[in-house]
Amino acid sequence: MYILKVAYNKHHYGFQTQPHKETVCDKIMDALKECNYLANDKIIFCGGRTDKGVSAIGNFIVVELSQEPILSHIYSKLKNKGIWIFGYKKIDTIPEVKYRHYRYILPIIPHIDEYNIDLMIEASKKLIGEHSFHNLSKKDRTKEKSPIRTIYDIKIEKNLYYITIDVIGKSFLWNMVRKIITALSEVGKENKPVGWIDELLCENHKGGVPPAPAEGLILMEAKTDIEYIYDKYVLNRFRREWMENYKKTTMKLGVCRNMMEFI
């Protein structure tokens, strides 16, 4: 078995394999087939299952390969598809995921969005620890999954353009992180009091919130003890492509700000 460290942008129809063949895993498996690396056409395990619109820099998959992969070869098959495999390791057993680290980028519109960061931090402390997140996740109609989850830490920082919210935990329910972001945002805007978080975590209370947009979410790390072998060429290409994306995005930001200031 091999574990492959995977990054991808938001322009995909989710992570897991689907019949329409447009997900991150579908495209990776197609690339591995083209390289004649696949010994089995199924993914054995993955670090995290992300929704459509979510990006990642620290996800992974475990697959059976017929030989040691050359990552630059795989990169050539994934070029311009918004997916990068820049690390790998041969393994005998599936690694334990010690924690998952998600980061959310919450944009700030100057002179319109007013967030009280101190209140957001106070509210976030109520979420740390073991709680029932039934009001902060997509409803499980099968009732097969326990809503009890453990959050290890939440960190919140603000700059001129956005608020960075880091959420770290063992595992997460569907839409859980994005609903946490909405809850913290409501408290930050002072639409809801800090004590509202206690209500959402109460097992007998029913009253959910909508998830924040998927495009702001990044899976930063699905942490294991694996020491990956990294490919310098792919890492360099990854950095260059995101630098180019940064320039284009900054240009758009400047245009948007000028348009708003005119009015």
Query: DSSP string covering 156-211, please?
Result: EEE-SSEEEEEEEES---TTHHHHHHHHHHHHHTTSS-TTHHHHHH-TT-----PP
At residue 181's C-alpha, the angle toward residues 180 and 186, to 5°, is 100
Question: Annotated binding residue at 102?
Answer: yes
**Residue that has been written with the tokens 């980061």 in this structure:** 103
d(CA 41, CA 193): 50
State the number of CA atoms in the 13 A half-sphere of 231 facing the CB. Answer: 21
Question: CA-CA distance, 120 to 263, in Å (whole number)?
Answer: 31
Please give the single-letter amino acid code of residue 213: P
Query: Which of 30, 51, 92, 166 does the annotation list as catalytic?
Result: 51
- Nearest one of 80, 85, 56 to 69, comparing CA atoms: 85
Half-sphere exposure of 63 (CA within 13 A, CB side): 27
Backbone angles phi, psi at 131, to 5 degrees: -145, 165
Secondary structure class of 227 (helix, strand, coil) = coil
Residue 231 falls in the annotated catalytic set: no
How far is the CA of 201 from the CAs of 62, 94, 133, 164, 212, in angstroms? Answer: 35, 33, 6, 23, 18
Cβ-contact 69, 87 below 8 angstroms: no
Give the residue carrying structure tokens 């997916």: 83
Binding residues for substrate: 102
Query: Which residues belong to the active site?
Result: 51
Binding residues: 102
